[in-house]
Amino acid sequence: MENRKRPSLTADHYDVFLAHSFKDQYAVEQTLQMLEERGLNCCYSRRDFLPGYSTIACIEDAVLAARFTLVFVSREFLTSPWCQRERQIAEEKAAETSDVVVIPILVDVHKKELPISFKALTYVEMADPGAFIKLCLRLGVPDLPLRPTYKQLEDQITELKTEVRYLSDNAQHHQRLYDTLQCRLQDSNMMVKRLQRELHNLRKVIKQLSNPHHTPKLTDKPKIQKNESESDVANVEEMSQPKEQRVPCGTYEQVSCEVEINTPNFFFAPYQQMDRTNVDALLAAFMNAKHLGDKAMEENQSAIAVQFYGKAREMQQKIPDMIEKRDTCNLLISLGIACVETEWYPAALDSFSTAICQLERDHVYGKRSSSQKISACHHYCALVLKRIKRPHQALQHYEKALAIERNLRGPDTREIVAHTLLCLGENYLEVNKEEEGQVVLQEACQIERSLHRRSHSHIKRVAKVLSVSSNRRANRKM
């Protein structure tokens, strides 16, 4: 192999040159890929011959630049004048110098059909299962490991990133669990101390009762503990009343309805009898109130659901660190929906705004799901503001929801964006912004046409609003 510059090729030195007919391209490129995966530098005419040079000169340079010349002998190769010229150049250069080695590879011909010059050489048949192993042994790369492709490396990196993300999420989850258990351990220690004090007091009482000179009065009333307010006990007793006598809770005086759900009288009994440090009783009461609120919503008793959700909200505010943030967000959204259905709009706005702030801060459902929840809360806020005749503020919520939905990825995202664009366009028309509404509605119409047929109800609705907008603009010009 000569050491000189070869301007007709992409490199000066190669391990292997592949001489072949263009009709055998598929078999040649398969061999080329397997050789390059094992670290061999191959010269392939379609890739490594530079333009503007004689083909004969390129072939000569390739034969001299490579240690091995693989000649893919097929019926097309034997009948092509250019391929015969390529074979002659390889034979001549192999005869001139021992640095050039020619290896015939039989593609679809029998050894009897080989040229006389090739019959004197050992060859490799592609139909032989061990042909590639023999070829690698002759090329001197029997034990070289496979070199991964760029696509394989990208897939491995993606898998590693996914695993790292999964492990990071698990670590954060276990850290939260550890913190929760630490808090519960502290509460348990405090409960043990309280029970020990109560046991000590009971022993005193028993000692006093065992004294024959002590006679308790029947008119004595039990005193409320110092750390328990009278209003809490009143609320608990109120919720424990039979359904015929129950009235709305103090905070939710605007709601009035009859209870049609069978609620046990002992529902809030643990809360009524407990000390403020009894976190487990508060947690149980919170979960029971939320469950009864969900049940009321399933039975379309939204006014009753507001009462239960409100009670759960009050308990959550007493022990915010002991209740998971996801449960808090679920409660806020459910309370807001129940308030919308009962037309209690200020409380609904307050619940949805609090839920939006918490979701934006913590992303308790994951980034995508939290973004969907935030968008839904903005839609509810806009709906409430439209009902109380505040279209300009509703417009801001629709714009925020649209900005969030445009960044989402998913099969149903375009349909959600189209719905938000329609609501935004209608709101623009309501505040007399016909130009902005026209642009937004046209975009919504394009999305709907790409998703549905022309006769679909969504397209008809958007077209109707567009026609209203056009008539308004025409009347203004007149």
- pLDDT averaged over 10-residue windows placed end to end, the chain, 478 residues: 66 87 87 85 88 86 87 88 85 79 86 80 81 78 61 86 89 86 85 85 75 48 41 41 37 36 39 52 82 87 88 84 83 91 88 88 80 88 88 87 82 78 80 77 77 61 65 58
What is the pLDDT at residue 226? 41
What is the pLDDT at residue 337? 92
Tokens of 64: 């001299």
Tokens of 276: 């403020």
CB-based contact 255:248 (threshold 8 Å): yes
Tokens of 442: 């046209």
Tokens of 41: 């530098």
CB-based contact 417:380 (threshold 8 Å): no
CB-based contact 28:74 (threshold 8 Å): no
14-139 CATH fold: Rossmann fold (3.40.50)
- Cα gap 412→414, rounded to integer Å: 6
From 234, 214, 216, 215, select the one nearest 224 (Cα to Cα). 234
From 461, 379, 392, 470, select the one nearest 428 (Cα to Cα). 392
CB-based contact 379:420 (threshold 8 Å): yes
Q: Which residues contact 97 (CB under 8 A, 6 or more apart)?
A: 1, 2
Helix (H, G, I), strand (E, B), or coil: what is residue 18? strand
Which CATH number applies to 269-477?
1.25.40.10
Helix (H, G, I), strand (E, B), or coil: what is residue 408? coil
Helix (H, G, I), strand (E, B), or coil: what is residue 68? strand
